[in-house]
Structure 1
Amino acid sequence: MPTDRRRVTLKDVAARAGVSPMTASYAFTRPARVASATRERVRRAADELGYRPDAVGRALKSGRTHQIGVVFSEHLAYAFDDPQAAQFLAGVAEVCVEEGRGLTFIPTRGDAADADRVLSAAVDGFVLWTTAEDDPVLAAVAGDPRPAVIQGGPPRRGIACVTQDDYRAALAIASQGLRDGRTPVVISFPLDRDREHLVTTGAGLPPHAPFPVTDARLRGYRAAVEQAGLSWTSTPVAVVARNTQQDGLDAARELAPLLTPDALVIAMSDELALGAHQALHETHPEAAYLGWDASPAGRRLGITSVTNPLRDQGRRCARLALDPGRPPDDQEIPWSVTS
């Protein structure tokens, strides 16, 4: 009988049960290979001795942790505060439950240690939330042998991508909103990892944004504005630091002096559109709003939006991360404009 001064080992359990250490190990790791009576004897001995299997040791031996690592380029709290990010995580979590896997959050801070922090995580595969093209985590994960999937891009060799055709969707929703001859303003996601707040016009935007979602949607909005015979270079644009209703509200208040009574507020998410509506519904009651994500709150206000089933995208990402074959083809999600 072991003393209380040292940790109970598998050998102690095997001795108590009257079996070999290998048989005792199989009782926990490969129960189908052990007779039920023997398996029960081993487990009873473990309970009597207070033994618990060493999950870390088992992971080292098998080379698998049975964990999926989720990497957010946003502040980690965003995963819980943003309704759409929460839907995405719910999809990942559903697959983890179905497959008996754990879920590990890997925070990033935008510093030089991010890549090492991600690669040192004890996980079997990675699911990444959309990030910028120059994020060093991308190169690190792409060079790692573990499966990796990213939602929204950017596309990178060695990382599967689950995304929408954001350019065509942005073109479609903006074109629909401009049919009534309204005057557009845009509330945009961040342009790069610096996340600088900015109020400018189309002329003041860089030719390319490192965030692929931001870049594709801005290009789509620009094409719609120019096809409507309007000037993109003079279209007011507010760039927010975060995708929150508060950021949308603040941006709309800054844009308010530039708005015509029939303004069309083109926001890159329902959250931003909801914030803009809160800021402008009294001063600009005739304004119309476009969003993205087709959220329940947006639908209640009649905001025209783009469907973006992030729960399904989370499920797809998790399934691909569990596939050691790492399918090379990107997974494009269908979309539609709804109001």
Structure 2
Amino acid sequence: MPTDDVPGRETAGKPRRPTMVDVAAKAGVSRALVSLVFRNQPGASEATRQRVLHAADELGYHPDNAARLLARGRSHTLGVVLTVHQPFDADMVEGIYPEAERLGYDVLLSASAPGRDEGKAVEALLSHRCEAVILLGPTSSQAYLAELGRRTVVVSVSRRVPGAHLDSVRTSAAVGVRQAIDHLVKLGHREITHVDGGKGPGASDRRRAYRSAMRRHDLTARIVPGEYSEDAGMAAAQKLLGEDRLPTAILAANDRCAVGLMHAFGRAGLELPKDLSVVGYDDNHLSHLSYIDLTTVRQDANRIAEHAVQRAVARLEDENVEPTDTVLDPKLVVRGTTGPPAAR
């Protein structure tokens, strides 16, 4: 047999990849039947299907789905832009993969990080023929996002972009923050400060919801500038510790900010919730840990991920489908960082 007919045998110094023809020959079936098996189509008995899969496994054959889809003019690939240091983004990615697979799509990830802005992360995905882009907590300008929405199918997670031709999937800040403030007021708190998320996605909605919730209880609102990071939480805590009087409770911008607050207050000798109550936002996977045990507003990462994928696929499959703003309800999860205020 000629050398180039033997799967795995080197040809011109390179091993030849086994093909569907090789699998068919080894399994003793036609190439068409092998194709049916790998496309999960009817036409092959279970015994034949297992024989084909076993032959493919022995040969080390893997179907080139990307080439097949590109030949049909489609890549069936969704691009996802995430921020490296945001645990909640990682939680959402875990939900994106199974939903995309269920709907027949692959997923490519691209991260924004210091030195690599969101625009670069997006362009990398588009250069790899991603048909749609899901942005997890986008921070780009409204003008850029509007322009991107004219180029391709875009889903913005956690941020609504008015006037742009793109989908958004988010939770209701009004509902989530109201639950948090109601919980603290029911415990007896009246001095509740909000450490905000600065210019982060959804931060303005949470500020607005905080002010509204405090007005409902006829309480004075106070906002301390922050960001969605532990460092911002620690900086806010140091600011508050330098004042004559601490609030009895704090609603943090997100869970990372809450953890920074907890760390700084702990180093100052304060105990939670004995001396101070703290509420986070997101309910990322770190908040569940026993040594954090954070009361937080839970955004259901899996539900958000599923809706984001479904919106992208709906518009890819039917160009007449218009973008929508999907708003889900969050839920307060009470753990160990909130309790009645200390007597003053």
Among candidates 39, 56, 62, match of residue 72 of structure 2: 62
Change (3 A) 1:190 1:110: farther
Cα-to-partner distance string for 1:37-87 (whole Å, 9 max, x where unaligned): 999999999999987655443232112223321112x3xx225xx1x3222
Equivalent residue runs for 1:220-231 within 5 Å: 220-231=209-220
Q: Which residue of 2 aligns with 1:197?
A: none
Q: Which residue of 1 aligns with 2:282?
A: 293
Q: Confirm or deny: 8 A CA contact 1:27 1:42 kept in the other structure.
A: no
Matches of 2:125 and 2:143, distance apart in 1:
11
Measured on the aligned residues, the alpha-carbon RMSD in Å equals: 4.2
Shift of 1:105: 0.4
3-state SS of 1:149 partner: strand
Q: Confirm or deny: 8 A CA contact 1:150 1:160 kept in the other structure.
A: yes
Shift of 1:214: 0.2
Matches of 2:225 and 2:67, distance apart in 1:
52
TM-score (norm: length of structure 1): 0.70
Q: Which residue of 1 aligns with 2:264?
A: 279
Matched letter for residue 213 of structure 2: A
Cα-to-partner distance string for 1:223-260 (whole Å, 9 max, x where unaligned): 2334544544xx350312x434x542343123211362
Q: How many residues align?
A: 307
Q: Which residue of 2 aligns with 1:163?
A: 170
Matches of 1:152 and 1:111, distance apart in 2:
15
Matches of 1:225 and 1:182, distance apart in 2:
9
Matches of 1:239 and 1:91, distance apart in 2:
28
Q: Confirm or deny: 8 A CA contact 2:197 2:226 kept in the other structure.
A: yes
Is it true that 1:95 corresponds to 2:99 in the alignment? Answer: yes
Matches of 1:295 and 1:138, distance apart in 2:
26
Q: Confirm or deny: 8 A CA contact 1:143 1:158 kept in the other structure.
A: yes
Q: Confirm or deny: 8 A CA contact 2:170 2:326 kept in the other structure.
A: yes
Cα-to-partner distance string for 1:24-46 (whole Å, 9 max, x where unaligned): 99568768598889999999999
Q: Confirm or deny: 8 A CA contact 1:273 1:289 kept in the other structure.
A: yes
Is it true that 1:138 corresponds to 2:145 in the alignment? Answer: yes
Change (3 A) 1:112 1:274: closer
Shift of 1:309: 0.9
Q: Confirm or deny: 8 A CA contact 2:118 2:138 kept in the other structure.
A: no
Uncovered stretches (5+) of structure 1, i.e. residues with no partner: 193-210
3-state SS of 1:239 partner: coil
Cα-to-partner distance string for 1:143-175 (whole Å, 9 max, x where unaligned): 2344x3222122454322221111343244235
Among candidates 197, 218, 224, match of residue 237 of structure 1: 224
Among candidates 78, 81, 90, match of residue 71 of structure 1: 81
Matched letter for residue 89 of structure 2: A
Among candidates 107, 112, 127, match of residue 111 of structure 2: 107
Matches of 1:307 and 1:33, distance apart in 2:
43
Q: Percent identity?
A: 20
Among candidates 302, 321, 327, match of residue 332 of structure 1: 327
Change (3 A) 1:236 1:137: closer
Q: Confirm or deny: 8 A CA contact 1:162 1:332 kept in the other structure.
A: yes
Matched letter for residue 107 of structure 1: A
Change (3 A) 1:98 1:30: closer
Matches of 2:256 and 2:293, distance apart in 1:
13
Shift of 1:178: 4.3
Considering Cα pairs closer than 8 Å and 6+ residues apart, tell me whether 1 or 2 has the greater RCO: 1
Q: Which residue of 2 aligns with 1:202?
A: none
Cα-to-partner distance string for 1:113-166 (whole Å, 9 max, x where unaligned): 4553343232233222122361565234412344x3222122454322221111
Q: Which residue of 1 aligns with 2:337?
A: none
Among candidates 125, 135, 141, match of residue 132 of structure 2: 125
Matches of 1:62 and 1:230, distance apart in 2:
61
Q: Which residue of 2 aligns with 1:269?
A: 254
Uncovered stretches (5+) of structure 2, i.e. residues with no partner: 5-10, 335-344
Shift of 1:99: 4.3
Q: Which residue of 1 aligns with 2:340?
A: none
